[in-house]
Amino acid sequence: MGRLVKHHLFWPLCVLAALLLFNLCYSPDFFTITMHDGHLYGSLIDILNFGSPLILVAIGMTLVVATKGIDLSVGSIVAISGAVACLSISKGPDQNSLVLILISVLLAVGLSLVLGLWNGLLVSVAGIQPIIATLILMVAGRGIAQLVTGGQIITVTSAKYAYIGSGSLATLPFSIFVVILVLLIALLTRRTALGLFIESVGCNPTASLMAGVRAKWVILSVYIFCGLCAGIAGLLLSSNVSSADGNNAGLWYELDAILAVVIGGTSLNGGRYYLTGTVIGALIIQTLTTTIYMIGVPPEITLVVKAFVVLAVCLIQSDSFRAAFAARWKTRHYPAEKEITRHVS
Amino acid sequence: MSTQKPILQMTKIHKRFPGVKALSDVNLRLFPGEVHALMGENGAGKSTLIKVLTGVYSIDEGRVEMEGMPITLHSPLESQAAGISTVYQEVNLCPNLTVAENIFIGREPRRFGRILWKEMNRRAAELLSERMNLQIDVTRPLHTYSVAVQQLVAIARALNISAKVLILDEPTSSLDQKEVEQLFRIMRKLKQDGLSILFVTHFLDQMYEISDRVTILRGGEFVGEYMAEELTRLELVMKMIGKELHLLEELPSLAEADQHTLGGEWIRAEGLGRKGGIEPFDLAIRQGEVVGLAGLLGSGRTETARLFFGADKPDSGRLTLPESAGTVRSPREAIRRRIAFCSENRKTEGIIGDLTVRENIILVLQAKYGAFKAISRKRQEEIAGEYIRMLNINPPNPDHLIKNLSGGNQQKVLLARWLLTEPQLLILDEPTRGIDIGAKAEIQKLVLSLSRQGMSFLFISSELEEVLRVSDRIAVLRDRRKVKEVTGKDMSQQHIMQSIAGG
């Protein structure tokens, strides 16, 4: 039992289970999954589908956080990527041309890689603190996205593009497969030694350098990967609604992603990282959002409700909070004991 | 003194950590106006006992009394309020603040809520010059001064809080002889003022020079409390390590060391130097040779080592490897050319605290292979197991986080990390600092046996005896300059001492 509680996934899974349980009690058909035209429908499927952009961004963020960094620009990259893809498609002669869509997707992904490289260069070569370095693109990126869309919402009418974010493969949403693919790529860090290097650089950069680890390359690569993840998330998001909104797409994603990483057990101090934890963290956030909409919390207080739940999640995960809580519990049981010792002394 | 009542008394202290009994049944008495030494090997429980005293850890069982009244120490604040002040081994002040600010932080002299800067600076300067004999500009940032000065500032800060008990946790480990004497003068003065000082040290000489009483711990248990003058050195050492002291005597003597044949010249520094680090020097190391660097703290020993490893860029001269006609410009290149460097700063430049022993051991080899040629988990475990056995790493669990190991065992893990890469030149900067006598002898033995197999060493230690014991040749440094090289029969303590002192 003790080992179970110590496992890094224990508390995140508990929270997720509690959320799902609440939903089950509140709306018994929450777990119902139905089949229409070869597609599965249901709240759980929705959570996976709508949560996939956040999961992607959070996976990239995990590796950045593991190097003791942070990437605030992911929300902007989401917007830019979607905007570029949609612009390219909308300018094409035939919006359903597979070549056009491939070119547009590659363009968006390529641009996200470049943006990730930019962040990485600022952090690793120029030595700017990550929060500042990525703040630049967070602010400027919104502007770039608006520039690309011309301040308008670009809509596309391409069934093939829409497939990326809302189509389904083998009855499941296609986006889930995208997430699985990216997660597998991220998990490659565990198969190669990159994971070891990321953790060692995040934990002690000086010692890593002395041990011959190429810290600069490691840092550069995690920011590039994070940019890539955000770019793909931008494609999913814009394809799901068949439009690109430079102002609002991916807004505040960076914060949700950081939250997902932390809930998943990766410390902002860098070092050990947990990709599966991050996925669960992102699912918790998405489930929470869905739950709030489902139980019909008035829109003006949804953020407050979300804040309270997030606070609770963080407190449950905090070792010192649990210890303090346990201590209080004990003294409440034996209130007289403290008194006695005080008088004796 | 026996009629006096102890100011601080700890009785039957127990402290357990998951899986470890850190302290069991430990007693400690501190009398006013005495210097009380706390001694023991690594893992004896000294650090734990101090953390209990300073309120960082709370005890599981036992009583703590201050002037006869039971007290609880649940937080550093409670401990300070009880009159216990601590100066840690690693100075923990704020390097970016001025000296005066560091001394008065949280207790600045104020009027109407406004800090009286002039008053504060004046009082800080006064405090340092009167009680510490230290005349420095107190308005400069702390980090502009040497560790020794920072240490004295830390003591001044501790004294400024009205302390009854002052804990000095290995205060002398990074001080040179003169600074140690200065510290001891201050300690004697404080003792006369009635302060009770708990002095934690590894140096036997220093213990005898300054202490009145000594408490010895071993493996988390209380061995005994003795009057320093009634305890012979041999008794002390035997009580500390709990066995006969024959390990050091087993080492081959210098005469034997001379017998082994050296290979060709392997690395050569010509006019190598770096401003503010070390003046240009020449030094060549042959295969299988152990070159010792002797000199006081701050004489440029570490700086020399860092140049050999490519950790710092030289301003002048060059480093060449005659055989491969190569040079060394970065740690990566050094590693590729089979140079290894065990830094003296284990925590900041050595261990990766949150990773396991196994991961720490394979790190350099893996970095050498690159990210895409991962060493399999099975191979990693074999390697870790092999070195844990070979170097006697304790606890022998490759999946322990390295930060939870004692200093000596961390040092062994770092040695394993470098030995694994099969270096030709191994630079050891203070490899035995802060580790116990047994582990020390093991490391010295290892150096000797590996050098017989053809490995070269650059060996740095502030313990002259140790340098003498392992080196074939000794380069003496003074004031950031290489002043002399001694070999053969010139390698005597006296001769080298004179060179170091500049006689």
Percentage of residues in chain B with pLDDT exceeding 70?
A: 91
Considering only CB atoms, A213 lies closest to which of B311, B343, B367, namely B367
> B369 and chain A: CB distance < 8 Å anywhere?
yes
CB contact under 8 A, B417 and A211: yes
User: Would you say B293 and B301 are in contact if contact means Cβ atoms under 8 Å apart?
Assistant: yes
CA atoms within 13 A on the CB side of B50: 24
> Å from B426 to nearest chain A CA?
13
CB contact under 8 A, A211 and B69: no
Considering only CB atoms, A271 lies closest to which of B336, B354, B362, namely B354
> A299 and chain B: CB distance < 8 Å anywhere?
no
Residue of A nearest to B401 (CA): A272
Of B352, B357, B379, which to mutate for an interface test with A (greatest number of A Cβ within 10 Å)? B352
Residue of B nearest to A190 (CA): B374
Residues of B in Cβ contact (< 8 Å) with A200: 352, 355, 359, 363
CB contact under 8 A, B354 and A210: no
Q: Where are the domains of chain A?
A: 7-296
Burial A58-93 (b: 16+ CB within 10 A, else e): bbbbbbbbbbbbbbbbbbbbbbbbbbbbbbbbbebe
In the predicted structure, residue B190 carries a pLDDT above the cut 60: yes
In the predicted structure, residue B234 carries a pLDDT above the cut 80: no
In the predicted structure, residue B206 carries a pLDDT above the cut 70: yes
Between residues 302 and 331 of chain B, which touch chain A (CB distance below 8 Å)? 309, 311, 331
**pLDDT tens sequence across B275-334:** 767 889 999 999 989 999 987 666 788 889 999 999 999 989 989 988 777 888 899 999
> Å from B332 to nearest chain A CA?
4
Query: Side chain identity at A31, as an amino acid letter?
Result: F
Q: What gap in Å lies between CA B499 and CA B503, rounded to an integer?
A: 6
Tell me how far apart the 2 most distant CA atoms of chain A are, in Å: 90
> A192 and chain B: CB distance < 8 Å anywhere?
yes
Average pLDDT of chain B?
Answer: 84
Chain center to CA of B127: 28
**Beta strands B473-478; B290-294: pairing state:** parallel
Considering only CB atoms, A196 lies closest to which of B311, B366, B368, namely B366
In the predicted structure, residue B381 carries a pLDDT above the cut 60: yes
> A197 and chain B: CB distance < 8 Å anywhere?
yes
Beta bridge partners of B290: B457
CB contact under 8 A, B331 and A196: no
In the predicted structure, residue A269 carries a pLDDT above the cut 90: no
Q: Angle A69-A72-A75 (CA atoms, 0-180°, nearest 5)?
A: 140
ipTM of the complex, rounded to two decimals: 0.82
Residue A276: band (very low, low, confident or very high) from pLDDT cuts 50, 70, 90: very high
pLDDT value at position B449? 87
**pLDDT tens sequence across A286-343:** 998 888 888 888 878 878 887 887 788 778 777 788 788 777 766 555 544 444 444 4
**CB atoms closer than 10 angstroms to residue A241:** 17
Q: How many residues are present in chain B?
A: 503
Q: What gap in Å lies between CA B193 and CA A176, rounded to an integer?
A: 74
Average pLDDT of chain A?
Answer: 87
**pLDDT tens sequence across B84-131:** 888 876 667 888 889 988 888 877 887 888 888 888 899 888 888 877
Count interface pairs A-B at CB distance under 8 A.
77
Of B58, B65, B342, B363, which to mutate for an interface test with A (greatest number of A Cβ within 10 Å)? B363
Among candidate residues B331, B324, B325, the one with its CA nearest the CA of residue B368: B331
Please report the domains of chain B, with CATH numbers, ordered by start residue: 8-241 (3.40.50.300), 263-338+424-503 (3.40.50.300), 351-422 (1.10.8)
CB contact under 8 A, A204 and B417: no
CB contact under 8 A, A345 and B70: yes
Among candidate residues B431, B426, B447, B418, the one with its CA nearest the CA of residue B346: B431
CB contact under 8 A, B353 and A204: yes
Structure tokens at B385: 């197991």
User: Would you say A286 and A47 are in contact if contact means Cβ atoms under 8 Å apart?
Assistant: yes
**CB atoms closer than 10 angstroms to residue A113:** 15
Of A201, A203, A206, A210, which to mutate for an interface test with B (greatest number of B Cβ within 10 Å)? A210
Q: Where are the alpha helices (DSSP H) in chain A?
A: 2-6, 10-26, 43-66, 74-91, 98-120, 130-149, 159-166, 174-191, 194-203, 205-210, 215-241, 253-263, 275-294, 302-317, 319-333, 335-344
Residues of A in Cβ contact (< 8 Å) with B343: 210
> Å from B392 to nearest chain A CA?
22
> Å from A152 to nearest chain B CA?
44
Q: What is the DSSP string of A127-160?
A: ---HHHHHHHHHHHHHHHHHHHHTTSEEE---HH
CB contact under 8 A, B363 and A213: yes
Of A194, A196, A267, A343, which to mutate for an interface test with B (greatest number of B Cβ within 10 Å)? A196
**pLDDT tens sequence across A119-156:** 999 999 999 999 999 999 999 999 999 999 888 888 88
Burial A303-329 (b: 16+ CB within 10 A, else e): eeebeebbeebeebbeeeeeeeeeeee
Percentage of residues in chain B with pLDDT exceeding 90?
A: 27
Residues of A in Cβ contact (< 8 Å) with B415: none
CATH number belonging to domain A7-296: 1.10.3470
**Beta strands B339-342; B425-429: pairing state:** parallel
How far from B373 is each of A239, A277, B334, CA to CA, in Å? 38, 26, 20
Q: What gap in Å lies between CA A164 and CA A219, rounded to an integer?
A: 30
